[in-house]
């Protein structure tokens, strides 16, 4: 029996028990894939992060859901980098310290912002967006109860978009409709399976805060617990907004999680080069809520 330290960080919030919780194994070296998967099942959170040595970057990270491994995810990156800064694994003598993290999709930079030597927030860089196949509005609204094509934002087709992980994007007009979303799970699962994605990100361009320009919910028909704040989907949604002219500025304040009692907040930045989207940056704060041990068989 091996004993490992386990930490839980709530990402995209400064308040405990809000935002999106992520379990982290700070020293995962020597754990097998099966052990990592078993730990993720035991925590039963949307993602569990495993920190490992890397010969390509400052750290290697692997992310597991209870169902399997992900190549990249947003809130575990915020949570893991925050923990590394909080515990002195990254020097905080400068206002911004940049580290390189090795993901299964490659190496990406993460900026750790500090104020007076203490960690304040983390900004991750996501990959250049990839725009994939489209689905008809009629098919997508049929995957939800009490949703019609009139509820969708005009001239913005449902489309697969990814900045590391792919999702179906579904932009709708009214926050009240997002509040009442109810999936036709079997039908949505069948539609998403055609595109090889697990979830649809339903979003609108306003929120509870006056400054918010993106509020969304992740609809995963095979997961009966809802993800509070989905960093990788937020990056894809911001890219979609920029591509279809829904973003007034290249900085987009973001909300998610309010309808399940875990409000989270972040800020997106669209990085352009020669008027093309080069990458997406997503920043947010975090707070540690649990620090303990786990026995691994």
DSSP code of residue 258:
G
| 47 noted as active-site residue | yes
Listed in sequence order, the residues at least 6 apart from 88 whose beta carbon sits closer than 8 Å to its beta carbon are none
Cα–Cα distance measured from residue 56 to residue 184, given in angstroms and rounded to the nearest whole number? 43
Cα–Cα distance measured from residue 10 to residue 45, given in angstroms and rounded to the nearest whole number? 11
Contact assessment for residue 231 and residue 266, using Cβ atoms and an 8 Å cutoff: yes
- Return the closest-CA partner of residue 161 out of 240, 77, 73, 261: 240
Q: Where are the alpha helices (DSSP H) in 102-195?
A: 137-141, 175-179, 185-195
The end-to-end CA distance of the chain, in Å, is: 5
Listed in sequence order, the residues at least 6 apart from 106 whose beta carbon sits closer than 8 Å to its beta carbon are 127
Q: Exactly one of 47, 102, 135, 255 is catalytic; which is it?
A: 47
For CA atoms 61, 5, 81, 231, the dihedral sign is positive
Contact assessment for residue 231 and residue 283, using Cβ atoms and an 8 Å cutoff: no
Cα–Cα distance measured from residue 201 to residue 142, given in angstroms and rounded to the nearest whole number? 15
Residues identified as active-site? 47
């Amino acid at each position: 029996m091996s004993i490992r330290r386990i930490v839980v960080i709530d990402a995209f919030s400064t308040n405990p028990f809000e935002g999106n919780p992520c379990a982290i194994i700070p020293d995962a070296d020597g754990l097998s894939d099966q052990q990592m998967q078993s730990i993720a099942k035991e925590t039963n959170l949307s993602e569990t992060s495993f920190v490992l040595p890397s010969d390509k970057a400052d750290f290697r990270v692997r992310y597991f859901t209870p169902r399997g491994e992900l190549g990249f995810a947003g809130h575990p990156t915020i949570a893991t980098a925050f923990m590394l800064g909080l515990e002195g694994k990254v020097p905080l003598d400068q206002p911004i310290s940049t580290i390189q993290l090795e993901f299964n999709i490659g190496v990406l930079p993460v900026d750790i912002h500090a104020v007076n030597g203490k960690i304040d927030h983390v900004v991750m860089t996501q990959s250049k967006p990839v725009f994939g196949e489209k689905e008809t509005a009629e098919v997508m609204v049929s995957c939800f109860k009490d949703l019609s094509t009139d509820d969708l934002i005009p001239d913005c087709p449902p489309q697969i978009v990814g900045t590391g992980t792919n999702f179906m994007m579904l932009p709708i007009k009214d926050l009240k409709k997002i509040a009442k979303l109810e999936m036709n799970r079997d039908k949505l699962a069948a539609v998403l399976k055609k595109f090889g994605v697990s979830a649809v990100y339903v979003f609108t361009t306003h929120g509870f805060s006056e400054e918010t320009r993106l509020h969304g919910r992740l609809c995963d028909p095979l997961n009966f617990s809802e993800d509070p704040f989905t960093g990788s989907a937020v990056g894809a949604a911001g890219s979609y907004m920029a591509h279809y002219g829904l973003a007034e500025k290249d900085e987009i304040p973001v909300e998610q999680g309010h309808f399940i009692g875990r409000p989270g907040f972040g800020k997106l930045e669209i990085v352009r080069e020669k008027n093309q989207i080069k990458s997406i940056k997503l920043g947010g704060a975090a707070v540690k809520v649990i620090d303990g041990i786990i026995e691994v068989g």
